[in-house]
Amino acid sequence: MTQTLVNKTPQPVPVEREQRYERLAALAQRHGALAVLALVVVVSSAVFPSFPTAENANGVAIQSSFLAIVALGMTFVIITGGIDLSVGSVFALGGVLAAYASQWGPLPALLLPLAVCGAIGLLQGVLIAYTGMAPFIVTLAGLLGARGLLLAITEEGANTYLVPKDSAFLELGQGTLFGVGYPVYLAVLLFALGGVLLQRTRYGQAVFAVGGSPDAAALMGLPVARIRVLTYLLSGLLAGFAGVLNASRLSSGVTILGVGLELDAIAAVVIGGTLLIGGAGTVSGTLCGVLLLGVIQNVINQIGSLNSSYQSVVSGGFLIVVVVVQTGLSRRRHLR
Amino acid sequence: MSQPVLDVRGVSKRFPGVLALDDVSLTVAPGEVHALVGENGAGKSTLIKILTGVYRPDAGDVFYRGEPVAFGRPLDAQAAGISTIYQEVNLVPLMSVARNLFLGREPRTRFGLIDVARMNREAGEQLARYGIEVDVRLPLRSLGLGAQQMVALARAVAVDARVVIMDEPTSSLEPREVDTLFRVVRELSGRGIAIVYVSHRLDELYQLCDRVTVLRDGRRVHTGALAQLDRLSLISLMLGRDAAEVRRDGLTGFSAHDAGDVEPILRVRNLSRAHQLHGISFEVRPGEVTGLGGLLGSGRSETAKAVVGALGADGEVTMAGRRLTRRSPAAAIRAGMAMLPEDRKAEGIVPGLSVRENIVLAAMPTLSRFGVVSRAKQDRIVDTFMKRLRIKAASPEQKVSELSGGNQQKVLLARWLCLNPRLLLLDEPTRGIDVGAKAEVQALIDELAADGLAVVLISSDLEELVEGADRIVVLRAGAVVGELAGDDVTEDNIMTALAQEPAHD
């Protein structure tokens, strides 16, 4: 009978190198979008004299603020490992409901859309969290449903509700402070709150845990289903609020708005370094992603000779680069 | 013994068709390290799931600190003070070490926000107590598995646990990490925390545990002080066989082959894989059944998978005199190897396809010409094998999912045999099939070997192994601890080999 010793040589673990790599990867993930944004701004400022003006910057900021608010909710959803395709339709529905309710005053114009859009988000969240249906399918149904509801309210788009000219509601989207529109301040404020919510509250930590490893989160005693419901509720509320702001800015509820907005929001979130599979991401990255999309559009408009549709081509290219880099980073991890 | 902290009385649990636990009792005292052992299907995991609130018992009671309890979900058990450390680390790899440690119970400032500075400081202190010095702000995945396991343990204990259940906590740890874990376990037991320790590694049990409960087929077969039970007795309790019974003639359909000094067709040299396989070497001769024996977790299946390239490993595999350089399942098939995996539902059978389709699946490339598969050729092959293997199906077009387990196994066997392999690796070929079909599959294996095929047989059924194999390579903890041939192939000898004190410590 032969006897073999159990081989007891421990593998040397290059802890130092691994951890340094982790730090670099985290840095690239968190601040990659910011670095690219800074680069694009610097180059554009040098090339186009009309780019680095206060007026132009203000324009980019106000145009980006609506997408930014929608993308904020999307960031939370994607970090939980989900997706919310309904936000474009919900955004449009929120706008129409705000314009419709503005005849009764500014408060109903704010509360009615938030209630309806919140309810849509809540319903989607409940379906996803408690029936185990795929977020993609549930929110696709939400996209179609909200758009249908919108068309029903406006008689297939035949009615466009206008905000009364003297309504205080118009102040929300059109008012300015130090020459900068209110929507910009609101977006910045919401992002600050969102950052605190994500990084410094138990709910935020649970969002990361649910996306990073739902089984582990459940075993650690986190209320996984409730976290999911809250997250889709948040996304619905934010999309609705962005719609309200937009209606106030345009003085009317435009039915055809928001088609494909969900895709811009997803693109901004992913460009901002949030993992599409969930578990990691930042709201500051999303803000950079939104601004990057806004600046690209602005620059292409500056070039003049280029059709503005090229904006999508460039944004798409960025998206591919970001995803390739992300995949590369995580593949190296798996190989170690 | 002081008042038990955990007292399980006569618990039964039935699943459709199986009595998973049958009147099982278990008592654990504060500060005791209690080993819970048993082979696959003995009911260990069902018992653990009842203790942690995943399942509810059909009969019997669980008393915790003197009170009857019925946990509805894992969270309730945890809140009451019964924590579980799973085999796979159940934490969130992307989140920082500190956040994992405090998830769901983070320290907060008076504004209700998480006090990150305090959390990181306390996390560092807690881990330092267990001898883990890391930057707690780094993501958990940047730590080694051992350190991750320690974070899980620190988390489990930090929630004021009175009982910690550890389900094979060392299965993916380095020896050095195991030492650290043991130190922590002893410290916990010194603080009066009761530990239920599940492991297949006997060495660990004897190093760590005070008492042992052995489960077999859902029943408790023994409880007592571990020190009074020698290794051989423990193994025979787990496997349910004793030396006298073993010497009796077997009941299986196997007979002996004499391969004599035929040149080996498969030579495996020094197969190694971190944590799992440690320098495994053996040879397989044509016309002979070579058994791979060992307890669960000894590396039997891993060895077979490594040989066919389904699992990455270092070492040399030589097939029919040619060394396989780039190992992959495709290369193994080309070299003439065929493997029947352990879990035929997950890894082999395609339930929605017919018997014919399942049989010719792997042979498609050789049966087709310019991508077109000749139906006549297919039918001929399928017919031959259905007859030869005595596959009982209404027709070749019957869906495989409608066949019995034994016949499904034969379909899989047929699939590999139509490739004309020279080496067949069978991982638990008779698991989950009824007694009659079992003997038939065994007889078939016998016939194939007699026809000159080299067969590697993996089985946790000792009787099957002893009856079926002409030679047995005994594995323990991923290393070869013995090789038996001829008259030495007895259950007694296998158990002796398994029970040997490890030579290194």
Q: What is the pLDDT of residues A62-99, one digit of tens each?
A: 889 999 999 999 999 999 999 999 999 999 999 999 98
* Bridge partners, residue B267, by sequence: B283, B318
Q: pLDDT digit string (tens) for B184-233?
A: 888 888 888 999 998 877 788 888 899 999 988 888 888 888 888 877 78
Contact A53, A59 (CB under 8 A): no
Confidence of residue B340 (pLDDT cuts 50, 70, 90): confident
Confidence of residue A228 (pLDDT cuts 50, 70, 90): very high
> Given an 8 Å threshold on Cβ–Cβ distance, is B91 in contact with A220?
yes
Average the pLDDT over B44-52 and give the result.
85
* Bridge partners, residue B476, by sequence: B479
Q: Rg of chain A's alpha carbons, rounded to an integer?
A: 22
Residue A77: what pLDDT? 96
Asked whether residue B240 carries a pLDDT value surpassing 80, the answer given is no
Task: Kindly provide the b/e burial profile for residues A211-230, where b requires at least 16 CB atoms within 10 angstroms of the residue's own CB.
Answer: bbbbebbbbbbbbbbebbbb
Residue A189: what pLDDT? 93
- Give the β-pairing of B368-369 and B372-373: antiparallel
Residue A326: what pLDDT? 66
Q: Strand ranges (DSSP E) for A51-167?
A: none
Q: Which residue of B has its CA nearest to A7?
A: B278
Confidence of residue B346 (pLDDT cuts 50, 70, 90): low
> Given an 8 Å threshold on Cβ–Cβ distance, is B484 in contact with A22?
no
Residue B247: what pLDDT? 38
Average the pLDDT over A318-333 and give the result.
68
> Given an 8 Å threshold on Cβ–Cβ distance, is B75 in contact with A279?
no
Residue A66: what pLDDT? 92
Query: Which residues of chain B are within 8 Å of residue A212 when distances are taken between CB atoms?
Result: 92-95
> Given an 8 Å threshold on Cβ–Cβ distance, is B279 in contact with A7?
yes
Higher pLDDT, B262 or A53: A53
Which one-letter amino acid corresponds to residue B19?
L
Average the pLDDT over B135-141 and give the result.
86
Residue A138: what pLDDT? 93
Q: What share of chain B is helix, strand, coil (3-state, %, to 5)?
A: 35, 25, 40
> Given an 8 Å threshold on Cβ–Cβ distance, is A2 in contact with B174?
no
CA–CA min distance A201, chain B (Å):
5
Residue A336: what pLDDT? 38
- The residues, any chain, with a CB within 8 Å of residue A15's CB and separated by 6 or more, are B144
Q: Which residue of B has its CA nearest to A13?
A: B144
Query: Which residues of chain B are within 8 Å of residue A209 when distances are taken between CB atoms?
Result: 92, 95, 103
Residue A6: what pLDDT? 37
Higher pLDDT, B144 or A105: A105
Which one-letter amino acid corresponds to residue B61?
D
Query: Which residues of chain B are within 8 Å of residue A275 when distances are taken between CB atoms?
Result: 94
- The residues, any chain, with a CB within 8 Å of residue B328's CB and separated by 6 or more, are B309
Average the pLDDT over B248-271 and give the result.
65
Domain architecture of chain B: domains with CATH? 6-244 (3.40.50.300), 263-336+424-430+453-505 (3.40.50.300)
Q: pLDDT digit string (tens) for A183-193?
A: 899 999 999 99
Asked whether residue B457 carries a pLDDT value surpassing 80, the answer given is yes
Confidence of residue B183 (pLDDT cuts 50, 70, 90): confident
> Given an 8 Å threshold on Cβ–Cβ distance, is A205 in contact with B99?
yes
In this structure, the number of other CB atoms found within 10 A of the CB of residue B203 comes to: 17
Least confident interval from A56-60, B172-176, B423-427: B172-176
Query: Which residues of chain B are within 8 Å of residue A225 when distances are taken between CB atoms?
Result: none
Q: Which residues of A touch B (CB under 8 A)?
A: 1-8, 10-11, 13, 15, 18-19, 22-23, 26, 196, 199-202, 205-206, 208-209, 212-213, 215-222, 275, 279-280, 333
Q: What are phi and psi of A312, to 5 degrees?
A: -65, -40
CA–CA gap between residue A291 and residue B504 (Å, rounded): 63
Least confident interval from A2-16, A29-43, B383-397: A2-16
CA–CA gap between residue B148 and residue B85 (Å, rounded): 11
Contact A212, B99 (CB under 8 A): no
Residue A73: what pLDDT? 94
> Given an 8 Å threshold on Cβ–Cβ distance, is B106 in contact with A213?
no
Max CA-CA distance within chain A? 99
Residue B219: what pLDDT? 86
Q: Return the closest-CA partner of residue B471 out of B250, B324, B264, B301.
A: B264
Q: Which residue of A has its CA nearest to B98?
A: A205
Residue B466: what pLDDT? 83
Q: Return the closest-CA partner of residue A268 out of A283, A289, A296, A242.
A: A289
CA–CA min distance B90, chain A (Å):
5
What CA–CA distances, in Å, run from A33 to A259, A282, A289? 25, 11, 6
Asked whether residue A49 carries a pLDDT value surpassing 90, the answer given is no
Task: Kindly provide the b/e burial profile for residues B93-103, where b requires at least 16 CB atoms within 10 angstroms of the residue's own CB.
Answer: bbbbbbbbbbb
Confidence of residue B146 (pLDDT cuts 50, 70, 90): confident
Mean pLDDT rounded to a whole number for chain B: 81
Contact A128, A138 (CB under 8 A): yes
CA angle B195, B201, B207 (to 5 degrees): 60
Q: Rg of chain B's alpha carbons, rounded to an integer?
A: 25
Task: Kindly provide the b/e burial profile for residues B441-456, where b requires at least 16 CB atoms within 10 angstroms of the residue's own CB.
Answer: bbebbbebbeeebbbb
Residue B344: what pLDDT? 65
Query: Which residues of chain B are within 8 Å of residue A217 when distances are taken between CB atoms?
Result: 92, 103
CA–CA gap between residue B285 and residue B423 (Å, rounded): 9
Q: Where are the alpha helices (DSSP H) in B371-424?
A: 375-388, 405-417
Q: Where are the alpha helices (DSSP H) in B405-475?
A: 405-417, 435-450, 462-468
Average the pLDDT over B111-134 and give the result.
85
Using a 10 angstrom Cβ sphere, with 0-12 exposed, 13-18 middle and 19 or more buried, the burial of residue A287 is buried
Task: Specify the 3-state DSSP secondary structure of B60.
Answer: strand
Q: pLDDT digit string (tens) for A272-325?
A: 888 888 888 889 889 988 998 888 888 887 776 667 677 778 778 877 877 777
Confidence of residue A18 (pLDDT cuts 50, 70, 90): low
Q: Return the closest-CA partner of residue B269 out of B255, B259, B258, B279.
A: B279
Asked whether residue A242 carries a pLDDT value surpassing 90, the answer given is yes
Domain architecture of chain A: domains with CATH? 56-329 (1.10.3470)
Residue A188: what pLDDT? 93
What CA–CA distances, in Å, run from A138 to A90, A125, A212, A320, B191? 14, 9, 21, 26, 50
Query: Percentage of chain B surpassing pLDDT 90?
Result: 3
Q: Return the closest-CA partner of residue B126 out of B146, B167, B156, B88.
A: B156
- Give the β-pairing of B314-319 and B322-323: antiparallel
Higher pLDDT, B467 or A90: A90
CA–CA gap between residue B429 and residue B409 (Å, rounded): 7
Least confident interval from A2-16, B85-99, B314-328: A2-16
Least confident interval from B12-21, B148-157, B277-286, B353-362: B12-21
Asked whether residue A9 carries a pLDDT value surpassing 60, the answer given is no
Higher pLDDT, A170 or A195: A195
Q: Which residue of B has its CA nearest to A278?
A: B94
Residue A93: what pLDDT? 92
Asked whether residue B40 carries a pLDDT value surpassing 70, the answer given is no
Element (H, E) at A192: helix A182-200
Asked whether residue A330 carries a pLDDT value surpassing 70, the answer given is no
C-beta contacts of A281-284 below 8 A and 24+ residues apart:
A281/A75, A281/A78, A281/A79, A282/A30, A282/A75, A282/A195, A282/A198, A283/A72, A283/A75, A283/A191, A283/A194, A283/A195, A283/A198, A284/A30, A284/A34, A284/A191, A284/A195
Higher pLDDT, B472 or B503: B472
CA–CA gap between residue A183 and residue A244 (Å, rounded): 10
- Give the β-pairing of B368-369 and B423-427: unpaired
Mean pLDDT rounded to a whole number for chain A: 83
Q: What are phi and psi of A187, to 5 degrees?
A: -60, -45
CA torsion angle for B355, B359, B362, B368 (degrees, to 10)? -90
